[in-house]
């Protein structure tokens, strides 16, 4: 596979990076946006000239249901308003694949549609699950899309201690959209996109 000789080693390294993000102290984060149910923080990324965003909120469903809706698969396209297509390009194991997906334009199309090719890995974490991803090189490009790049990103989902049918969902996202976009526009879009992600996910789970 292009640029990914050892999927197991790649997956382990990615998981360890996400666990490292998950242990960053609270005082290193600055609140970017907050609603009643969800808080978004950010800090400068060490991977590129942008921000690492952290999102956290409680979802009214079990860990398995939440992660099944987030990880690559038909569920995701049904509810994620930003995602316009998804193809699994290569399967390694049940919990490990390379996927290509496209996103809709944002901010009145100041940010045009994007294409991403990501390695995705889902693994047990404490009492719950971690679903994480990282963009990989894939030579086949489609001219109608700008190819974006996801630096290590992922979602930790664990049951609430006092309420096992509710889950604490914490995400870490650092996306380089590339192309000629002011970074401030990207940062504004990212915080709002993450807030919407929680709302859309909760609505989809209520219907399921």
What is the set of domains in the chain, with CATH numbers? 30-206 (3.30.530.20)
The single residue listed with the structure tokens 């989902």 is: 157
Nearest to 134 by CA among 93, 190, 172, 191: 172
Contacts of 85 (CB under 8 A, 6+ apart): 77, 101, 102
Please determine, for residue 107, whether its predicted confidence score (pLDDT) is greater than 80.
Answer: no
| Ordered DSSP codes for 70-105 | HSSSHHHHHH-TTEEEEEEEEEEETTEEEEEEEE--
- Give the pLDDT confidence score for residue 6 in this predicted structure: 82
- Window from 79-83, 142-146, 203-207 with minimum mean pLDDT: 142-146
Please determine, for residue 2, whether its predicted confidence score (pLDDT) is greater than 60.
Answer: no
- Quick one: how far is CA 9 from the chain centroid? 20
- 3 state DSSP class of 22: helix
With beta carbons less than 8 A apart as the criterion, state whether 91 and 84 touch: no
pLDDT band at 15 (very low <50, low <70, confident <90, very high): very high
List phi, psi (to 5°) of 196.
-65, -35
Contacts of 49 (CB under 8 A, 6+ apart): 183
Burial (0-12, 13-18, 19+ Cβ within 10 Å), 206: exposed
Q: What is the percent of the chain where pLDDT is above 90?
A: 63
- pTM for the predicted model, two decimal places: 0.92
Nearest to 176 by CA among 52, 3, 20: 52
- Give the pLDDT confidence score for residue 108 in this predicted structure: 60
d(CA 147, CA 124): 30
């Amino acid at each position: 596979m292009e640029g990914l000789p050892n999927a197991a080693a790649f997956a382990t390294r990615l998981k360890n990076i996400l666990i490292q993000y998950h242990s960053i102290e609270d005082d290193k984060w600055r609140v970017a946006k907050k609603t009643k149910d969800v808080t978004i923080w950010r800090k400068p990324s060490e991977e590129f000239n942008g921000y690492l965003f952290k999102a956290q909120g409680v979802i009214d469903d079990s860990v398995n249901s939440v992660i099944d809706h987030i990880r690559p698969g038909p569920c995701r396209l049904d509810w994620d308003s930003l995602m316009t297509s998804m193809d699994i390009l290569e399967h390694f194991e049940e919990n490990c694949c390379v996927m290509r997906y496209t996103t809709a334009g944002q901010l009145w199309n100041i940010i045009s549609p994007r294409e991403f090719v990501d390695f995705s890995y889902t693994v047990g974490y404490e009492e719950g699950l971690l679903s994480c991803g990282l963009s990989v090189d894939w030579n086949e490009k489609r001219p109608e899309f700008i190819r974006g790049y996801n630096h290590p990103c992922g979602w930790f989902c664990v049951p609430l201690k006092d309420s096992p049918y509710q889950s604490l969902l914490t995400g870490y996202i650092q996306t380089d959209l590339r192309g000629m976009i002011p970074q401030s526009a990207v940062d504004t879009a990212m915080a709002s996109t993450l807030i919407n992600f929680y709302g859309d996910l909760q609505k989809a789970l209520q219907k399921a």
